[in-house]
Amino acid sequence: MIFGGCKPVEPLRKLPFDWVTAAAWLFVLAPICIQLRIGWLVWGSDLAGMDDPAHFTTGVMFYEYFRHALFTNPMEFARSGFQK
């Protein structure tokens, strides 16, 4: 029986399991979980904050290499930076 011209509502069909979507979620969530786990392990050990000046110096060296000497020999660039 139709009241006011409306059709009866059909029950919702169960959506099929989509393997592509499941794989995409796996490839997104797995690295996040691994990164968090490694971060918690490193945070509690002596590896966190152990060599900050060396990391800063290396970061500046990479920045200058990418800025000025890209597509040249990176070892020669690093050696020339320490000779100055």
The whole-model pTM stands at: 0.40
CA distance 61 to 22: 42
Q: Do 74 and 45 fall into the same domain?
A: no
- Answer whether residue 11 is part of any domain: no
Q: Is residue 15 classed as helix, strand or coil in its secondary structure? A: coil
Contact in structure between 29 and 37 (CB atoms under 8 Å): no
- Answer whether residue 68 is part of any domain: yes
Q: Do 57 and 80 fall into the same domain?
A: yes
pLDDT digits (tens, 9 = 90+) for 46-72: 655 567 788 888 889 889 999 988 899
- Answer whether residue 7 is part of any domain: no
Split into its structural domains, the chain has a count of: 2
Domain residue limits at 80: 51-84
CA-wise closest residue to 53 among 61, 42, 45? 61
Q: Do 76 and 59 fall into the same domain?
A: yes
Q: Among 29-33, 53-57, 75-79, where is mean pLDDT lowest?
A: 53-57
